[in-house]
Amino acid sequence: MQARSSMAAKTDRDRKHASAGSREPSAALTRRLNWDDLEVLLALARAGTLTGAGQRLGVNTTTVGRRLDGLEAALGVHLFDRSPSGVAATELARGLVPIAEAMERSVADALRLVEGRETEAEGLVRVSAPPGIANWFIAPAIARLRARHPKLIVELDAAVGYADLTRREADIALRSVRPRAGDLIALRLIEAESTIAAAPELIRKIQKLEDTSAIDWINWGPDLASLPDARWIADNVDPTRVVLRTSSMDAQIQAARAGLGAIIVGRPFLDWIELDELPLGPKLTKRVSALPTGSLWLVGHKALRGVPRIRAVWDFLVEEAAGFKPPR
């Protein structure tokens, strides 16, 4: 009987020890894993390359690689397969992504709560805009903004792609398409008719455009094929006459100035880009769809709209847009 009791007591001790041991890795894991680690994991999973992840995080490729090595070493697991073409998430890494995204949302919520307590327009505001809008509209206005709010600092991301405001990649964005996300707000800043523009020498040759196949065209690249101007060319122009596709508005303008072909641009910008309007002949006007009307949307996150520094930049851009005229 006594031997049986001793064995039972030993079994209970072993069970308790095993239970305590099973909790130990969890506690250690908590100490070894933080938001900075998961932020790297998310960036790599979304970008698929060390370079792309670095661009998302604002660090260089070497730093991303070092942080990934450190994370894998700390956890004792393999998260990404590396190859010359990029990185591929392992099954474990893919399983961690939704957990990391939940933490990302929690961090963003915490930041919004803290930032909502600001009382003065000071600090950094990150603005994302297409290159042309950044060059023509925002950059020339920053001096006036700083004169009004000298404690503000602007980080201007002049990128073709859209920054994800829900992930705090920017505080304010200017876009040609209205976003549909429920937690974003959008205000139309500018609405302008589009027109066909070309170099004066090309227009003198043909006078009026009676057939879209009579000239060559310059269009947006595949990544921006959904833009209204790009769709108009796709719907009304023989694809063999589209001789250049590019995601750069500046490249389109320079090519058109050199006489390569025609582009579609907002009418208010004609004088600034040194191109002339190419009139459509009456026959062509009846055959093609109407040229699109372009819009510029000011976009922000609902929860951040009242933060003083973001509200200051938002209100300023609204005022600037009301009297905006492209520089000559």
| Number of Cβ within a 10 Å radius of residue 42 | 23
Residue 270: φ, ψ to 5°: -55, -50
166 and 299 assigned to the same domain: yes
Give the domain extent around 99.
33-115
Residues 149 and 284 in one domain: no
End-to-end CA distance of the chain: 102
CATH number of the domain enclosing 257: 3.40.190.10
For CA atoms 107, 113, 118, 121, the dihedral sign is positive
> 87 near 48, Cβ under 8 Å?
yes
How many whole angstroms separate alpha carbon 132 and alpha carbon 289? 26
75 has a pLDDT exceeding 80: yes
Q: According to the model, what pLDDT value does residue 14 have? A: 45
- Is the model's pLDDT at 57 over the cut of 70? yes
- Mean predicted lDDT score pLDDT of the chain: 83
pLDDT in tens, 27-55: 445 546 777 788 899 999 999 999 888 88
Q: Which among 188, 174, 193 is positioned nearest to 266, based on CA atoms?
A: 193
Residue type, 114: V
Give domain status of residue 204, yes or no.
Answer: yes
The dihedral through the CA atoms of 251, 299, 325, 309 has a sign that is negative
Per-residue confidence (pLDDT) for residue 278, from 0 to 100: 94
Residue 172 to residue 75: CA distance in whole angstroms:
37
pTM given for the model? 0.58
Residue 2 confidence (pLDDT)? 46
Query: Checking DSSP bridges between strand 152-158 and strand 242-246, what pairing results, if any?
Result: unpaired
The per-residue pLDDT for range 143-189, each reduced to its tens digit, is: 999 999 999 999 999 877 778 887 778 999 998 888 876 678 889 98
Q: Count of domains in the chain?
A: 3
Same domain? 202 vs 249:
yes
Q: In the chain, which residue ranges form alpha helices assigned H by DSSP? A: 2-32, 35-47, 50-57, 61-75, 91-115, 131-133, 142-148, 200-206, 228-236, 249-257, 270-273, 282-287, 308-322
Same domain, 300 and 171: yes
CA-nearest of 211, 135, 143 to 174 is 135
